[in-house]
Structure 1
Amino acid sequence: MPPVFPAAEYDRRLAALRATLKAQELDAVIVHTPENVCYLSGHATPGYYTYQCLIVTADGEAALLTRETETVNAAETTNFERITGYPDSSDPILATAELLAEVAPGARAVGMEARSWFLPPEPFLRLTALLDTAGARITHIDGVLAAARLVKSPLEIEQIRAAARATNAGMTAAAEAAVPGASERTVAAAAFGGLIAAGSEYFGMEPFVASGPRAGTIHASWTDRVVRANEPVLLEMSATVGRYNAPLMHTVWTGPLSGEPAAMATACAAARDAALAHVVPGGSPAAAHAACKAAIADAGLAHTYRKRSGYSVGIAFAPDWGEGHLLSLGENEQRLFEPGMVVHVVPTLRVRDSAGIGLSATVLITESGHEVLTSCDTGPLR
């Protein structure tokens, strides 16, 4: 697969990172998180479960280190000239230190991620020890990389729009399949087919399908359970295009709801709309979360809500389709919304072993407000 974007887009990103390195007096940075590697280079492969890293120097060098068999993928997905492969029999941590010495000889200040899922404690400690022995001090640069990815460029937004179209198609297919007598497995198959036929590549996380009382459990995916009449079916999924994501949670029900599930459905729609009112330039993610919670509490259903109210979305590899570690709609979020950010607003009300209702939207923050990208016209009331 060729690079998703023209070379100029990656050059712009690398130039911004190099400017930051110079401002912080760093000679180079070593990046391990697959989403950050992809953002800066275009490199994307399901083989990220093996060790890989990207080295960017302040003076203009950039190099990818991957498993030797993955170098073909790297050559196809990037515009890089320097791609180094390590054999399966070698030590990739030692190879990283050696490659850094080649592209940034005598480096005395090196940036590294401290919170990457893909550099566990043991290799992290070995790599920092090797750099320390070589005379380099380590600076953690997670925040710098996060800030760069939060506001999307016009080209990134094009990819997210394409992902949203595929998500909407997959959700519609699943919602139409969620009828009494159908199994959750059948509904999930419809979701997969709709997502992939509409343009999705491999997902950041699998679709979720949970009917009736199973919807009361978070992250419940499909089983052989058969959908019954007069019960909700909770659906959540995200297509992935160019590694960019646009999730949607939606609930359909197969007849009249009554009692607590009916109240949850009304409250969930109100909570989503209350949160969305704050998702505008200069708006506060914490205020959006508070408004979401208040709408649920006003309905007497605060006991059904135990989570954040949304998160940033963009580039993602499994095990997640979101960027909640970059920005979340929660009490402690300090950063304000800006044009070009994309967030998934996702209130979900659940009662264990009883029911679950979720109604969400992925939205693009514009200069004057927001634009809803993901939605489903099928349901929720059938």
Structure 2
Amino acid sequence: MSPVFPAAEYEARLATLRATLRAKDLDAAIVHTPENVCYLSGHATPGYYTYQCLIVTADGEAALLMRETETVNATETTYFQRITGYPDRADPVRATAELLAEVAPGARAVGVEARSWFLPPEPFLRLSALLEGSGARLTHIDDALAAARLIKSPAEIEQIRAAARSTNEGMAAAAAAAVPGAGERTVAAAAFAGLIASGSEYFGMEPFVASGPRAGTIHASWSDRVIGENEAVLLEMSATCGRYNAPLMHTVWTGTLTGEAAAMATACADARDAALAEVKPGGSPAAAHAACKAAIADAGLAHTYRKRSGYSVGIAFAPDWGEGHLLSLGENEERLFAPGMVVHVVPTLRVAGSAGIGLSATVLITESGHEVLTACEDGPQR
């Protein structure tokens, strides 16, 4: 598989990181998070569950380190000349320190990630001890890496558009299959087929299918349950193209919703629209969340809403398809929306053991407002 982007795209990203290193008086950075490694180098493999890292120096060197058997993968997905593999018998933490000594001899200040899911405490502490033992001062660079990924380039946006088209196809297939008498497994199979046939690669997270009272439980995947008459089926999924994602949550039903489920459906649509009205350049994610919550409260359903109202999306590997650690639509978010950001606005109302309704949109913030990328026409009007 060839690299997703031209070499110039990755060179620009590395140049931005190197400028950050120089500004922070750092000699090099060691990057472990799979999404950040992919963003800076193009390297993408399902084998990221084993130790891998990317070393970038302030003066122009860059090297990938990974399990020896993965080096073929890296050769195909990156433009890197320096790809080092360690045998399974080796200590990859020590191999990291040795590679750093080769590409940045005498490094006295090194940037590291302190919040990477894929560098657990034990190897993080050992790596820190090795680097500090060689005289290096460590600085956490998580925020700088996150800031670089938040605004998407035109090339990245094209990958997200491709993912959105595939998501829409998968959602349409699942929605058409979600009829009374059908099993949730059948609906999930339709989603998988629609996503994969329309261009998706392996997902950051599998589709969710929950019907009737099961939809009141967050992150409920498919089960053996058969869909009944006059009940909602909550669906959520994201295709992945070039490791870029574009999620969509949607709810469908055949027949008539009654009681709290019917009220939740109306309130959820109003909440999504209220949040979207705030998604524009200079707009506040916190204000979008507040507008979403206000619409739900106005319907007397505040007790059904217990989460943020959205999050950034872009590159992702399992176990997630989002970039919520980069930006979330929540009370504490202080950054403002800017052109080139892509966010998933996703109000979901749930009552445990009763019902769940969710209606979302992945949107691109443009110079004048926003553009909705994910949608499904098959749904509440049925």
Q: TM-score range by the shorter chain?
A: over 0.9
Secondary structure at the counterpart of residue 378 of structure 1: coil
What's the secondary structure of 2:29's corresponding residue?
strand
Alignment of 1:297-316 (within 5 A): 297-316=297-316
Q: Distance in 1 between matches of 2:253 and 2:262?
A: 10
Is the contact between residue 188 and residue 209 of structure 1 (CA under 8 Å) also seen in structure 2? yes
User: What displacement does 1:272 show?
Assistant: 0.2
How far off is 1:254 after superposition?
Answer: 1.7
Aligned partner of 1:244 in structure 2 is 244
Counterpart AA for 1:212: G
Deviation sequence 1:319-345 (CA, Å, 0-9, x none): 000000000000000000000000000
| Partner in structure 2 of residue 210 of structure 1 | 210
Q: Which residue of 2 aligns with 1:48?
A: 48
Q: Measure how far apart 1:64 and its partner are.
A: 0.1
Does the CA contact (< 8 Å) of 1:180 and 1:254 recur in 2?
A: yes
**Distance between the aligned counterparts of 1:23 and 1:108, measured in 2?**
15
Q: Which residue of structure 2 lines up, in the alignment, with residue 334 of structure 1?
A: 334
State the alpha-carbon separation in 2 of the partners of residues 138 and 185 from structure 1.
49
SS at match of 1:90: coil
Q: Is the 8 A contact 1:250 1:380 kept in 2?
A: no
CA distance in 2, matches of 1:92, 1:255: 58
Within 2, Cα distance between the matches of 1:136 and 1:381? 62
In structure 2, C-alpha distance between the alignment counterparts of 1:277 and 1:46, rounded to whole Å? 38
Give the conservation status (yes or no) of the 8 Å contact 1:228–1:254: no
> In 2, Cα distance between the equivalents of 1:276 and 1:51?
40
Partner of 2:103: 103
Look up the match of 1:254.
254
Which residue pairs with 2:226 in the alignment?
Answer: 226
Q: Which residue of 2 aligns with 1:32?
A: 32
Instruction: Report the AA paired with residue 301 of structure 1.
Output: L
SS in 2 for 1:247: strand
CA RMSD of aligned residues (A): 0.3
Taking only the aligned residue pairs, the percentage that are identical comes to 86
1: distance between equivalents of 2:337 and 2:60?
32
Alignment of 1:231-380 (within 5 A): 231-380=231-380
Amino acid at match of 1:108: R
Q: Secondary structure at the match of 1:95?
A: helix
Provide the C-alpha distance between the structure 1 equivalents of 2:228 and 2:23, rounded to a whole number of angstroms: 61
Q: Indicate conservation of the 8 Å contact 1:53/1:66, yes or no.
A: yes
**Distance in 1 (alpha carbons) for counterparts of 2:133 and 2:234:** 54
Can you give the 5+ residue segments of structure 2 that lack an aligned partner in the other structure? none
TM-score by structure 1 length? 1.00
The answer to whether the Cα contact below 8 Å between 1:264 and 1:357 also exists between their aligned partners in 2 is yes
State the alpha-carbon separation in 2 of the partners of residues 323 and 233 from structure 1. Answer: 26
Partner of 2:135: 135
After superposition, the C-alpha distances for 1:334-371 in whole angstroms (9 at most, x for unaligned) are 00000000000000000000000000000000000000
Aligned pairs, how many?
A: 382
Structure 1 segments, 4+ long, off by >3 Å, are none
* DSSP 3-state at the match of 2:267: helix
**1:381 Cα shift?**
2.7
